[in-house]
Amino acid sequence: MAEPISRFRIGYALAPKKKYSFIQPSLVDLASQRGIDLVPIDVEKPLADQGPFDCVLHKMCGEDWKNQLRDYAAGNPATLVIDSPDDIERLHNRISMLDVVGELELNLETARTESFGIPKQVVIYDEENLLNPDLWTEGLKFPVIAKPLVADGSAKSHKMSLVFNREGLSKLKPPIVLQEFVNHGGVIFKVYVVGDYVKCVKRNSLPDVSEEKVTSLESSLCFSQISNLPSHDKSDEDKYSTSNLLEDAEMPPSRLITDIALGLRKATKLHLFNFDVIRDIRVGNRYLVIDINYFPGYAKMPSYETVLTDFFCDMLGKKEKD
Ligand SMILES: O=P(O)(O)O[C@@H]1[C@@H](OP(=O)(O)O)[C@H](OP(=O)(O)O)[C@H](O)[C@H](OP(=O)(O)O)[C@H]1OP(=O)(O)O
Ligand SMILES: Nc1ncnc2c1ncn2[C@@H]1O[C@H](COP(=O)(O)OP(=O)(O)O)[C@@H](O)[C@H]1O
Ligand SMILES: [Mg+2]
Ligand SMILES: [Mg+2]
């Protein structure tokens, strides 16, 4: 008689919006064909009652969930938790998130022609400091982008302002990160990482700001999740018009992008993330990492079902060997 074929169970704990976008029938079917059942986890119920799991995927906030996961992992050391809540934590703060880029020691093949880094930035914890730029301006010039320090996935954490002058500072609510606005030709590069797989795509971004604009415009401009706006949906042609910028933009060197991606993967120990890169048009061949996101919108990545299923098989295969 034929041996029963063992199947794997991957539990997933995702917010409803994420579940809707990521757990597509096409992914569930492909994973199933390859022996993997994707099983929803109810975070309101004890995790131990819902197992066993060969692997747990998650993007949930809150200490309760983290504690559940830690307890489950301690009791089930053979279960793969992708990724560890402690490793994810550094991406929830816009300073620690980018610190890791500065720590990368890459032996770049492209070092003679390309370089990478992060924009100048400073963290402001209170209004007193904010309104006294003499305390923090070191090397930082207007315009700046004000970003909430916390990047926890809430709508609030994506609300940003482009600040053109001192006047614009008074509307900000610390704790915030003030980051140098770098002209980058209106296009950002999103680099999706899934284990050792790396895929870079182009997206719309904020348009460049000219010297004259800095003095003639209002004191600040608010925006949120600009890269998710389709071109035809832009509310104000003047502010966001990118014409053919997206189509015409040249991709960054793939070797550089892969080196940064795999460097970040090693340094953060994370398997599932993406990062946003801009090309500084003042320099031309300098690339700046401006954002790193845990478990991003993979469904927007070409062939995401195959990429993710291959990754699951790879991880489960390695686990079996161990
Ligand atoms: O919803 P999507 O597909 O736009 O994905 C969001 C990501 O978009 P991207 O894949 O980079 O274009 C998005 O990336 P950005 O921060 O916009 O660069 C975040 O990863 C977002 O998660 P969170 O709100 O920060 O927890 C992601 O949101 P969640 O799907 O995790 O809610
Ligand atoms: N330093 C910067 N210079 C120029 N544009 C930036 C800079 N930082 C962010 N942006 C623009 O703002 C958008 C949102 O910033 P980001 O840090 O990626 O926040 P979020 O986590 O909400 O995606 C980016 O996609 C990019 O268009
Ligand atoms: Mg971003
Ligand atoms: Mg982000």
Residue 234 has what pLDDT?
A: 46
User: Which residues face 291 on adjacent strands?
Assistant: 276
- Distance (Å, rounded) from C-alpha 244 to C-alpha 225? 20
**Gap from CA of 63 to ligand 3 centroid (Å):** 25
pLDDT grade for 5, boundaries at 50, 70 and 90 = low
**Near ion ligand 4, which residues have CB within 5 Å?**
291, 293
Does residue 240 carry a pLDDT above 60? Answer: no
Annotated binding site: 18, 59, 94, 147, 158, 179-190, 205, 276, 291, 293, 297
Flag whether pLDDT at 138 surpasses 80.
no
Give the chain's mean pLDDT. 91
The binding site for 1D-myo-inositol 1,3,4-trisphosphate comprises: 18, 59, 147, 158, 190, 293, 297
Region of 268 (left: φ > 0; alpha: ψ -120 to 50; beta: rest) is: alpha
Where do the H-state alpha helices sit in the chain?
Answer: 16-22, 25-33, 63-75, 85-89, 94-103, 127-130, 166-169, 211-216, 237-240, 245-248, 254-268, 304-321
Which of 94, 205, 281 maximizes ligand 2 atoms within 8 Å of its Cβ, making it the mutation to test the pocket?
A: 205
Residue nearest to atom 32 of ligand 1 (CA): 18
- Could you read off the pLDDT of 306-317 as tens digits, one per residue? 999 999 999 999
Whose C-alpha lies nearest to ligand 2, atom 2?
181
Q: Strand 187-194 relative to strand 197-204: parallel, antiparallel, unpaired?
A: antiparallel
Cβ–ligand 2 contact at 119 (below 6 Å): yes
> Which of 190, 222, 188 has its CA nearest to residue 208?
188
pLDDT-based confidence at 257, cuts 50/70/90?
A: very high
Mutate to test the pocket of ligand 2, among 140, 184, 187, 206 (most ligand atoms within 8 A of CB): 206
Average pLDDT over residues 97-107: 90
Which pLDDT score is estimated for 219?
Answer: 86
Q: How confident is residue 322, by pLDDT bands cut at 50, 70 and 90?
A: confident
- Angstrom distance (rounded) from CA 265 to CA 87: 11
Pocket test for ligand 1, best of 228, 289, 290 (most atoms within 8 A of CB): 228
Q: Per the structure block, which two tokens stand in for 42?
A: 């109810």
**What is the side-by-side order of every strand in the sheet holding 176-180?**
121-124, 176-180, 144-148, 159-163, 220-224
* Whether pLDDT at 232 is above 50: no
Banded model confidence at residue 78, pLDDT cuts 50, 70, 90: very high
Of 229, 205, 294, 223, nearest in space to 22 by CA: 294
- The whole-number average pLDDT for the span 252-277 is 97
pLDDT score for 85 = 95
**242 to each of 85, 187, 217, 280, 320, how far by Cα in Å?**
38, 8, 19, 17, 49
| Banded model confidence at residue 12, pLDDT cuts 50, 70, 90 | very high
pTM of the model: 0.93
Q: Which residue has the higher pLDDT, 219 or 81?
A: 81
107-127 pLDDT tens trace: 766 667 889 999 999 999 999
ipTM of this predicted complex?
Answer: 0.95
Confidence band, pLDDT 50/70/90 cuts, at residue 61: confident
Of residues 141 and 24, more confidence is placed in 24
Give the Cβ contact number of residue 19 at 10 Å: 13
Nearest atom, ligand 2, residue 227 CA: 25
